[in-house]
Structures are given as C-alpha cells and as structure tokens.
Structure 1
Amino acid sequence: MEKLAALFKPFTKAKFRFIHWVLLLYIFFIPLWPKIPFKDVEYTYINIRYEDIFLGFLAFLFVIEIIRGKARIFKNPYLPWIVLYWVVVFIAFIYGHFVTKTVPVFNIGLLHSLRRVEYMFPFFVFFALVENARQFRIYAISIFLALFGVIIYAFGQKFIGWPAYLTMNPVFSTGIPLLLKYESRIASTFGGHYDLGAFLVLLIPSTLAMFAAGKKKYGLLFFLSLLVLVYTASRTSFISYVVSATALLFFLRKWKMSVVIIFISAVMMLFTRDLTDRFMKTFSVRQILV
C-alpha cells in the first residue's frame, strides 16, 4: 500500500483532478492506439475512429470545467486568431459547396472542416488546464514516453513484422492489419508514414533540446527518433527536421553540436537507401528532343 501511495505521490503533489488523468491518457492514447475505425460514414470512405470518440469525451469534460470556472480558456492569447481560422474554414466550405460546387458532398466537406477544429482543440485544453510546473513536467515526460513507445512499435514493424493499420486509401482505412515489406516505408502506430514523420518532426527538436541542456539519456531517444524518421523516407519531414534542428542549435549557440548533428543526419540518410533514392528522384536530368 505504501508503494502504491509513493507511486501516486507526484500526481497528488501536482494537484491532479479527473480531467488531468484524462489528459494524461490522451497523451498515450492518440499516438499509440492503432488507427482502427470505430464506425464508417455511409456513402464515403471516411471513418470515425476511436480517437474521435476520446476527443469528444475530452471536449465534454472541458466544457464542464469551463462551466465550473476551472478552465481559463479566454486568457489564451491565440484564441481569437485560431477561432478566426476556423471561421474562414467553414466559410470556405459553405462557399465551395453552395456557390462554386467544388465541394460536391456536403457531409464530407463538413467532416473535413470539423476535423480542422478537432486537430487544434487539444491545444486549448492543455493551455487552460496545465496549472503548475509539476503538471507540466509530468505531461512532458509522458510525451517522451509515448514517443519511445512509437519508436518501439516502428522497429517492430520494420524488423519483426508487427502489423500496420494504414488510412491512405479506402480499402486500408477499413482497419485491415497489413504486413509491410522490408523495403516499405514504416508508419508505426500512425495511419501513414507522413503522419509518423510529422509527429517525429515535432518531437525530435525537443529531444535534442533536452540533450543540449545536459540530459544525456535524451541523446539515445534523439538518435532512435531520427533513425525512425529516416525509415519513413519522407523527404518533407526530413527537410523540416534539418531546418528546425539547425535553427534550434543556432538559437542555443551550440555551434559544434550543430555540425555534429548535421553530419550524423547526412550519414544516416546515405546509409538508408529509401530516403536517398527519393531525394535523387527529386532532381533528375532528362534529355528532351525539341
């Protein structure tokens, strides 16, 4: 009993409420849960997934917190600009459906517009409900643990044959477990390699910043994350990583480290044929007869 109390002591000190536990579960659930559909939308290839249900539950709890006066949403300086963006999204959808007819199916356009809100909504929840430094530290550590889980599954998918649940076409999005070939671009627990690449691009600079701050154990997490990014063979994500990592190290005035990181990144790219081949295909010389 004492060990159990000691385990929960950091959360008690951080003054966790029920919604804070839900946020903690959200950090692990969204990146680690396979993209298996909960229900398909008739006459479309769009699926409602379990993470959509989870976010709906989180939104319900968040509204209750606002009513109780526990959430400081209106103190968010980004609120007016993001709400303006949402308004523009829905105006574009309505105009495209009723005027220009470029959005032929109303339900599909509506769902795509709502998903823009869904993707950005958690930012407001965390901004409003992270109330002290202890909570922030718990959530930050949890994000890195979730990243480690994504990495483990990615290597299992690459070398052991763990299944992929992709959403890149109507057939795959039905939740069929796929066994990827060795030369295939890995997606880990995400619906596609581009989604995985975007996730890694957001977190790799964070691991690099922690390593630069003297947290040596984050060096291994950075290296493994970079290797998984290379295995996605996503050119856009890799370029984004190089730009963001270099800018971060320049901002921190870590000149020598920036040279080392760029060198390691180049070597890893050259030793993995998939990404190298894709970069080579970007620039090609062809003879054109006139």
Structure 2
Amino acid sequence: MNILALIKKTLSWLDDHILTLLTAILIVLIPLYPKIPLADLIEGYIVRMRLEDIFIAFTLFIYCVQLLRKKITLPNNMLTKLMLGYIVVGALSSFSALFITKSVPLLESHVFKLVLHLLRRVEYFSLFVIAYSSIKTKKDLKLFVITAFLTLIATIVYGFGQKYLYWPAFSTMNREFSKGMRLYLTPTSRVMSTFGGHYDYAAYLMMSLTALIPALWLVKHKLLKLVIGITALAAYWSLILTASRTSFGGYIAGLTAVTILLATTKGLWWAVRRYLLVMAVSITMMLTIGDLSERFLQVVQSPSAMHQLIPWIEAGKIEEYMFKTKDFFL
C-alpha cells in the first residue's frame, strides 16, 4: 500500500512538474548535443531531423495535452499574439505560393520544403510558450537560470577544446557537412563549439553575454561575482573566436540597451562607468585576440575582395574557392 501511495505521489508530482523538467532538458540538449542528423526529411536536402527535433516535438505534445487538460494556459501577452499572427500569415503566404502566385511548384519535394520551413518556425516559437508556461514559481526560474549558466560553461569549454585540443565539430553549413561528417578545425577556422555553425554559436554567446554582464554588475556575492566574471570573459573570448561581425554588433547593441535600462534605476553614472569599462576591455580583446578585427577590416576592403571572386563565380566553382579559404575546414 505504501508503494502504491508513493507511486501515486510521484506521478502526481510529475504531472505538475513535467513541463519544467522537459524545459530544463531542452535548455541543455539544444545547445550541447552535437548536430548529428538522425534521418533525411527530404532526400538530399540540407535540413535534416536531429535528436532535439524529436524531443521538442515530444515536449510540444505534452504541452498540448496539459493545455487541453487546463493544467496550463496559453500565455496571454502581446508576444504570443505576434507569434500566432506570424504563423497565420506564414500559412496564408504558403497557400498563396502554391495556389495563387504559384511561385512554388506543386511538386512533392517543393511542397515538403515549404511545409518544413513553416513547421520549423512553429518549432522555434513553441519553445517560448513552453518555457513561459513552465515557470510557475521563482524556484522554477532559478532552476532554468542555473541550468542555462552551466550549459553555457560546457559549450565554452567544448569550444576551447575545438580550438586548442583538436576536439571534433559537426557542421550544418553545407549539404555534405550536414550529413554528420566529423570535422576538425584548422588554426584559422572559426569556432562553432557544439553548434552547427559559427554564426549560431556566436548568436548564442551574444545573447548570453547580454545577460551575464549586467548580472556581473548587480550581483554582490564576491564568489558568485568572480564566477560570473570569469565565465563572461571566456564567453567573450569565444565570441571573438567565432569571428562573427553581426553577433559582435548585436553584443554592443544589446549591452547598450541594457545599460540604458539600468541607468533609469541605478543612476546614469553608475551605469555609464561600468559600460565604458566593459567596452574598453571588449575592444582591447577584439583587437588582440582572434580574427574578428580582421573581419571588420574586410568590410572596407570588400569591393576589391569581391573582384577576386568573380572568375570563380563565372566558372561555377565558388564552393571550391570557399572550401580552400580559412573560413572552412580541411
């Protein structure tokens, strides 16, 4: 009888917390699990099904079940409405492309690609509503923050391992690499850690830094401040190793926006002096580590650089040229 009571209690607890557990697993799984394909959704297509797709679909199924049981409610905010509106417009656009403008041929492969791209947007948006509904208490939020922080540290460590210890990478940047080829970085290749490309990794680091640095300013516990500071430095170093100009710009813009918000509550000088210190460290590191400064210089040199590509483009061998440059793998 005691065993039955324990099972009943466990199932009841699981029913109340299953979305929280699944969300925590997704926070770890999506960034950390290598982008190794499980199956082709469309034969020969670059987009392939991976483990996180299955787990997200399972979590979304559980979410819908809980929604029907009224254990949770759909977030009633403007962001949710905008997402739903986007999906509706995307569905109408897809219908128009197939039957009105006919810009997408009514062939099986093309229709599948169209539906696949729409479903991927639904998949992306579903993560927000799942995570939002999973946070019922401050304890849940704390669990997600700690999980995300530890996951960030793990991705940074693996990124350094790729750069300096010859750990493998799994890229999705072209059709062949996305088959799950094990690759190793050359000394001048851009770090991608556990992600499918350096741009994905850079975007992840940019968003993480936008939260980490303000946390460093606000936290008063000395040991925690030290841990956050070291992690932020390592994350920024990793951002430089990705050599992504767009994400660096996003990092500057995001940190500037957060500084403006903090200035309204903490005071202008409190926020500005911390911002200027971080910017000084950021620019110094950017100029002395990695290839990011060189990438910004290429913006000025890009017209002449483009002329070098014209013969390769005309010969239809641009991929061969790109494969030989330092931006890709050997």
TM-score normalized by the length of structure 2 = 0.79
Aligned mates of 1:93, 1:274 — CA distance in 2: 41
Indicate the structure (1 or 2) with the bigger Cα radius of gyration: 2
Aligned mates of 1:18, 1:86 — CA distance in 2: 26
Structure 1 residue aligned with 2:328: none
Task: Give, in angstroms, the shift of residue 277 of structure 1.
Answer: 1.2
Structure 2 residue aligned with 1:93: 94
- Any idea what the Cα deviations from partners look like across 1:94-147, whole Å, max 9, x if unmatched? 323334444341111110111011111110011112101111111111111111
Residue 143 (structure 2) pairs with residue 142 (structure 1):
no
Unaligned 5+ runs, structure 2: 1-12, 264-270, 305-330
Structure 1 residue aligned with 2:123: 118
- Any idea what the Cα deviations from partners look like across 1:68-106, whole Å, max 9, x if unmatched? 211121534432221111111122223233344443411
Aligned mates of 1:18, 1:128 — CA distance in 2: 11
Structure 1 residue aligned with 2:286: 269
169-178 vs 16-25, greater mean Cα deviation: 16-25
Query: SS of the residue aligned with 2:70?
Result: coil
Assess if the C-alpha contact under 8 Å between 2:134 and 2:140 holds in 1. Answer: no
Query: SS of the residue aligned with 1:279?
Result: helix
Unaligned 5+ runs, structure 1: 1-12
Change (3 A) 1:271 1:136: same
Aligned mates of 2:35, 2:173 — CA distance in 1: 11
244-253 vs 220-229, greater mean Cα deviation: 244-253
Query: SS of the residue aligned with 2:212?
Result: helix
TM-score normalized by the length of structure 1 = 0.89
- Any idea what the Cα deviations from partners look like across 1:170-229, whole Å, max 9, x if unmatched? 100001110111210011000000111111111111111210112512111111111101
Query: SS of the residue aligned with 1:73?
Result: coil
Change (3 A) 1:273 1:55: closer
Structure 2 residue aligned with 1:283: 300
**One-letter identity of the residue aligned with 2:300:** F
Assess if the C-alpha contact under 8 Å between 2:245 and 2:296 holds in 1. Answer: yes
Assess if the C-alpha contact under 8 Å between 1:27 and 1:146 holds in 2. Answer: yes
Query: SS of the residue aligned with 1:39?
Result: strand
Structure 2 residue aligned with 1:103: 104
